[in-house]
Amino acid sequence: MIPSVPADVLDALKAALGEKGWSQDAERLAPKLVEWRERWRGSTPLLALPKTTDEAAKVVRICALAKVAITPQGGNTGLVGGQIPQGEILLSTERMNATRDLDTVDDVLVAEAGMTLAAVHDAALAAGRRFPLSLASEGSATVGGLISTNAGGTAVLRYGVMRDLVIGLEVVLPSGEVWNGLKRLRKDNTGYDLKQLLIGAEGTLGVVTAAALKLFPILASRAVAFVGIAGPAQAATLLATAKAETGGEVEAFELIGRLGLELATRHLPGLREPLETRPPWYVLIEIANARPGSAQAQMESLLAGALEGGLITDAAVAQNEVQARAFWALREGQSAAQKPEGPAWKHDVSTPLSRVAEFIETATAALEQQFPGVRIDAFGHLGDGNVHFDVLGPTGGDPAAHAVGRDAGARIVHELVVSLGGSISAEHGLGTMKTVEALAYKSPAEVAALRAIRAALDPGRIMNPRVLF
């Protein structure tokens, strides 16, 4: 239970932030107090809207002294509830959205925490560079949120997650002190890496205010294909072939099941079946490189060989950008397409790539046996061994009845994942949703070390107190 915030603390925060820097207006607050799927709703006595790092530091300092809790929020696209306050001060980075610097010699973009991923893409592109992290929420998800959740997305198999893409950070620590770690070094081997500790900390170790992000060359040649395939095992083989044949130029490799494809074409306007046949599984493949015109030929050669060898059953290669976008829309619409079907039990899990097929097959059989009529919608970043294993209720069934099985279903899925050497949270983090469960899968030694780190940095536990250990 979060204690109510004393009036003198609220007054001090308002004075520190100035007129434009805070709000208590219900309408202004409303969209920030509900998660996009409406799974979490919250409340706050004050929305703090710092414009600068100095203002953010003042907020944290005032709260630290008064032992008042803070929930940081970026784009509010998180999927595990960590950004929705339950009585804490809500610190939004909405107004901290500038590009501080972009250097094409260092190949670095220094972005403020509230900059959206789409804005980072645009800024990089305008300078003839590219920031490769890409995900369906990029119009709203912010640099601070992406860092705090160590976000992944569709290009991880080639470029890695945020931990691989951030080379410097500026953070307001829980004491209110500012740590300026905005270095631009590819090599910096000087002991503990505070930056990596902050990445993935889900707002529990401070407020990220800016970051130095790695930039990459623009790729001149790109080919996108939608492929029909018998199952995830064949898809894993196809990925290995694609990587070998292209010398690692596979930009994305996304798995979609038949149900997901059907829901996308049924519920999302303008989306059509990409193939004449109706295979049980699909993969979306993107190949990209810097040699103009060559990706299309690579893709066609890969798919011709795979068809001839019986590894795939059907394929369509996008002939232009419009078609490429239409293929991607089928993938990116997967979560939205589930919504009209009622609530889904969502599992964001990973296993070694070699065990993904076994995971999907075993988990599907176990859930179908335990919960007759459920519909499995498995899709995701196969190249990273990351499956979004979502369980929909029976067609036309009662959503409330389906919701009852959520926890038991998660136990089945997570036990299996762990037994296969996997993780119960591949890319969305733990938030308030998975923290308790994650504890059960960590050793006492690890939990003690993690708690000691948190207590040392935030003895009053003011930063996102309901999140993590």
Binding footprint of ligand FAD on the chain (CB under 6 A): 36, 71-79, 82-83, 93, 113, 135-137, 140-142, 144-146, 148-149, 151-153, 202-203, 207-208, 335, 427-428, 431, 464, 467
E strands, 118-193, where? 129-130, 166-172, 178-181
CB closer to ligand FAD out of 267 and 275: 267
Nearer to ligand FAD among residue 205 and residue 306 (C-beta): 205
| Sequence-distant (≥ 6) Cβ neighbours of residue 10 within 8 angstroms | 45, 46
- For residue 31, the 8-state DSSP code is G
What's the closest the beta carbon of residue 370 comes to ligand FAD, in angstroms?
A: 28
* CA dihedral sign of residues 28, 118, 185, 427: positive
- As given in the structure block, the two tokens for residue 285 are 């493949």
CA 448, 454, 460, 462 torsion: positive or negative? negative
CB 170 within 8 A of CB 213: no
Closest approach of ligand FAD to the CB of residue 8, in Å? 25
**Residue (113 or 312) nearer to ligand FAD, CB:** 113
φ, ψ of residue 289 to 5 degrees: the values are -155, 180
**Rg of the chain's alpha carbons, rounded to an integer?**
23
Comparing CB distances to ligand FAD, the nearer of 115 and 306 is 115
CB nearer to ligand FAD: give 315 or 427: 427
> CB atoms < 10 A from the CB of 395, how many?
9
Q: ∠ CA 115-264-431 to the nearest 5 degrees?
A: 45
Measured from the Cβ of residue 164, the count of other Cβ atoms closer than 10 Å reads 14
Tokens of 91: 């610190």
How many CB atoms sit inside 10 A of residue 402's CB? 22
- How far apart CA 350 and CA 221 sit, in angstroms, is 30
Q: How far apart are CA 133 and CA 142, in angstroms?
A: 12
CB of 147 to ligand FAD, least distance (A): 7
Distance CA 284, CA 379 (A): 11
Complex with ligand FAD: residue 148 or 298, whichever CB lies closer: 148
When the beta carbons of 56 and 235 are compared against ligand FAD, the nearer one is 56
Q: Which is nearer to ligand FAD, 152 or 168 (CB)?
A: 152
